[in-house]
Chain A
Amino acid sequence: QSALTQPASVSGSPGQSITITCTGTNNDVGRYNYVSWYQQHPGKAPKLIIFEVNNRPSGISSRFSGSKSGSTASLSISGLQAEDEADYYCSSYTTRSTEIFGGGTKLTV
């Protein structure tokens, strides 16, 4: 199974908003609303920030939001802060009853 496609990098200034895309196929992102997003700081474990396309776990800032259109999911971050600088990964459930991740996007603030 091929990884979901994410841009290698995105950047923004403090206070601005950015969007990271995650493109899959009709066998994963396009088929199910089981798209998740993770934030990973250097040397740390990934942290879930969005699940089931647009739901935030308890304690996650409302500055983070998710959406999906067809086979492309998106993560939006508003009011960028320095601590948002990290790697971001998407994941999706697939028709093979497996999970698949995106290649990751490095966010520079």
Chain B
Amino acid sequence: QLQLQESGPGLVKPSQSLSLTCSVSGGSINNNTYYWSWIRQHPGKGLEWIGYIHHSGSTYYNPSLKSRVMISVDTSKNQFFLKLTSVTAADTAVYYCARDLGGYTPFNWGQGTRVTVSS
């Protein structure tokens, strides 16, 4: 059964970079059918799509975050990563990783990891 697990620092200082890892088990990142997404949810708010990556390296990002976001993949470790630079308090959120069917549908989700931006 597919499982996704987010990991990374729960606290990041303003102006620094936020880096998260999503470890995938029970399925291969190399499957051509899927993209691998990052999605976040601000406290008490709705969902915001951040972007996704295909194992081939193709990436697509939310235009509002594109200048600060990089998503990468390590197929040998079956992991993918999120880096968000120059963070502010507005980046405080629960960050989810997900397996995305065809680049159209976040199908399977991790449990999420809470990240707080504060000095």
Contact = CB atoms under 8 A, between A and B. Distances in A.
Question: Do these two chains really belong together in a complex?
Answer: yes
Contacts, number: 68
A32 B104 contact: yes
Interface stretch (B9-17, B20-28, B75-83, B105-113): B105-113
A104 B100 CA distance: 20
Interface in A18-46: 32, 34, 36, 38, 45-46
Interface in A75-109: 89, 91, 93, 96-104
Interface bracket on A: 20 to 34
B64 interface: yes
A93 B102 CA distance: 10
A97 B39 CA distance: 15
B76 to A, nearest CB: 27
Interface of B: 37, 39, 46-49, 51-52, 60-64, 96, 100-101, 103-112
Given A46-B109, A91-B106, 8 more contacts: A3-B46, A34-B105, A48-B105, A51-B105, A99-B49, A99-B52, A100-B49, A103-B46
